[in-house]
Amino acid sequence: MKIQENSVKINFFKKIFIKACRILGYEIIDQSNFYVPSQKKTLQENLNIQGKKSITLPLGETKITRKVVALTVIFRSCTSINMLTQNKKRLFDQNKSEYTFRSLNSIIKSLNYAKKSLPNIKFDIVVIDHDSKKEDLEQIKKQLKESNIENSIILLDVNEFIKNIKKTNAKNENVTKNQMSNMSNIFKSFLTAKNQCNDLVYFVEDDYLHKQDTINEMIYTYERISSQINRELILCPADYPYLYSKIDSTNIFLGANKHWRKIDETLCTFLTSKTLLEKYWNKFISMCEFEHYPFEQPLHDIYKNEYCLSPIPSLALHCTNVNSVFGLSPNMDWKEVWEDNKNS
């Protein structure tokens, strides 16, 4: 009987202690069973509180000073061109439209997954389309209508931008018609972000497959690392193969659930802030007015001054040719992600 009374007393004081810790903002950990009673979660669950603190063990708590309030996804689509600069076949060997549809599906799924754990963040998606077939455009509209995400579609008018594009590129060759439309679409995406976005913007090409937790991880990681170094960031969702083909010094950061490393090259799919977009506006749009070599050179110039990070392992797959150094991210089951994003 005495043992039972003592147990009741211990449980009573334990509950009072846990309640006091919650009020004071402290976390307590029961290391005997990997449980966090102050949050009623196990250590395997997400312990971060968006906009307030990021928690990783054994490093503890990082106070969030850079709170994310909104994310706009700008998705650039064009189902009429298979590959911009190559004639090679893509992974999975499908028509271009299939990559567009599945990429959009994967983004929508990831956004809806993020909405559940990030209810205070405003999400929206803008599709900027150029020259997709009528039936393909209808499919894109259908996916957006069923998405449960605020959305809009912009039909690109290449004539709005083509006069600003130099007709000869860095190799002293004529810029192709397809490349001009690509540069116009990128320019439109930058203008849209500058005029419509309130905080973070994710520029996405229509051949990237995303894991369900991609958006979640990028937002929590942005808040954590930006708060730690007191700087805005660029996040690339893909762990590109080229990163393993050379030995370079880098910096490794701990994100929400993944490691992130500093990199100096990406393609045109990346997440950043409106602040950085405005800071480097002339550098960004220079990519749309002159075809550099490599094409993304203006981005690489920005990365010399700012932190561009990519996850290990990858959060997204670039569906290009299997031999591309910017394609198949290693050590992931991408076939499963491909199948999961098939249109129903």
Residue 3: is its pLDDT beyond 60? no
Q: Which residue has the higher pLDDT, 329 or 11?
A: 329
Residue 2: per-residue pLDDT: 43
Q: Are 88 and 114 in contact (CB under 8 A)?
A: no
Which pTM was predicted? 0.89
Q: Are 210 and 316 in contact (CB under 8 A)?
A: yes
| Amino acid code (one letter) for 59 | L
Over the stretch 208-236, which tens digit does the pLDDT of each residue have?
999 999 999 999 999 999 999 999 999 99
DSSP string, 295-338: TTHHHHHHHTTSEEEEEES-SEEE-S-TT-TTS--SS--HHHHH
Least confident of 21-25, 119-123, 157-161: 21-25
User: Which domains are present in the chain?
Assistant: 1-44 (no CATH), 70-340 (3.90.550.10)
Rounded to a whole number, what is the largest CA-CA distance in the chain?
A: 91
- Find tokens 């700012």 and name the residue: 306
Report the alpha-carbon distance of residue 169 to residue 297 in Å, rounded: 13
